[in-house]
Amino acid sequence: MIYADYNGSAPLSQDVREYLVKRFEKGPFANPNAIHYLGTKTLMGMENARAVCAKVLGADFDQVIFNSGATEGISTIFHTILSNEKNKKIIIISGIEHSAIINTADYYATRGFTVKCLPVNSNGIVDVDTLTKWLKEDSANIAMVAVMAANNETGVIQPYFEINSLCLKNNIPYLCDTTQFIGKTPFNFKESNMHYAVCSGHKLGALTGTGILLVKNPEKLLPLIIGGGQEKGHRGGTQNYLGNETLAVALTTLEKNFVNINTLTEKRVEFEKKIKSAFPEVVIIGENSPRLATTTYISYPGIHGQAVQIELESQDIFVTTSSACSDNSPVTSKVLKAMGTRDDIGRGVVRISLCLNSPLAYYDKIADALTKAYTKLAKVKSY
């Protein structure tokens, strides 16, 4: 079996599994906010995990706030920036953002804010020139900017350093959705100098329902969940200490795998060339842009992506057609529409996303399976 949907969700890493087995045997299990011995010991384990996460992510200890995942982190940041904003009423996002950003921005649009959407070129890269223009024209009215670091469908890496620099110069908060970036390539929060970043544990091989919110100035954060003042008042509710511990284990494992980035990239490029050589009609989305080493977004125009997905699954290879949020809709995704992708290409995409320690031989097996699928389905094109 080949699992090739890591952009959707990563299986529990082997290191996390082994850690949990030992952890369940020895404990402790207690409320980390209790002042008795077991509570204090549980808290120490969680705070050690915070220190490990901070080190791997290049953040200060206090800048790491544990939560349930990127979606909660995004909502918290919008809440922090916009709740008391009376003058600045413009929210800038891009056309390729995850629905967690888009839907949250739309929510605030019903409360008096205006959402402006940055265009994206055909290679999947956000137009920084347009952002520069908007900042020059109306920076006094812009409340925040939210543009991701790497796209979950295409794997295209965005110019987030440049975007952050523009925001800093104009004193505008920048939220960078790093959910698909962290764990797939090195990231240093302090070096990025951005205001906010988010990630989800299930993308990293940690337990589902865990996540990290990185905050440049945590004292300015407004809690979305008030509760009993946990996480130094930044996020109420008894902490998922076991899940938070797995974040540290998973991030440590992923950091060790960064040495595989160049080798995996070379193999991915070889795989893409092999398929395009056999099927010249095939399109690699974002082919000419910087991409994550682990992601290929491929389409055979005229063949439905879901049909390809079914063929691959029959050979025990698991891929998806776009993001998990839109996998059930056989239409061109909003990301591809923003890129100006034709419908015959957009409806044909499948996303192949591995992890940094996936065996290189996986690409050979996927290439063989994809060749069989395309050869079969090309004879009965559906549109």
pLDDT at 214: 98
CATH class of 2-10+258-377: alpha beta
User: Are domains 2-10+258-377 and 14-256 of this chain identical in fold?
Assistant: no
Whether domain 14-256 has CATH 3.40.50.300: the reply is no
pLDDT at 324: 47
pLDDT at 307: 95
Domain ranges of the chain: 2-10+258-377, 14-256
For each successive 10 residues of the chain (383 residues), what is the average pLDDT?
Answer: 97 98 96 97 98 98 98 98 95 98 98 98 98 97 98 98 98 98 98 97 98 97 96 97 98 97 98 98 97 98 96 97 56 94 95 97 98 93 60
Q: In the 3-class helix/strand/coil scheme, how is the chain assigned residue by residue?
A: CEECECCCCCCCCHHHHHHHHHHHHHCCCCCCCCCCHHHHHHHHHHHHHHHHHHHHHCCCHHHEEEECCHHHHHHHHHHHHHCCCCCCCEEEEECCCCHHHHHHHHHHHCCCCEEEEECECCCCCECHHHHHHHHHHHHHHEEEEECCCECCCCCEECCHHHHHHHHHHCCCCEEEECCCCECCECCCHHHHCCCEEEEEHHHCCCCCCCEEEEECCHHHCCCCCCCCCCHHHCCCCCCCHHHHHHHHHHHHHHHHHHHHHHHHHHHHHHHHHHHHHHCCCCEECCCCCCECCCEEEEECCCCCHHHHHHHHHHCCEECECCCHHHCCCCCCCHHHHHCCCCHHHHCCEEEEECCCCCCCHHHHHHHHHHHHHHHHHHHHCCC
pLDDT at 382: 57
pLDDT at 316: 98
pLDDT at 383: 54
pLDDT at 331: 83
pLDDT at 15: 98
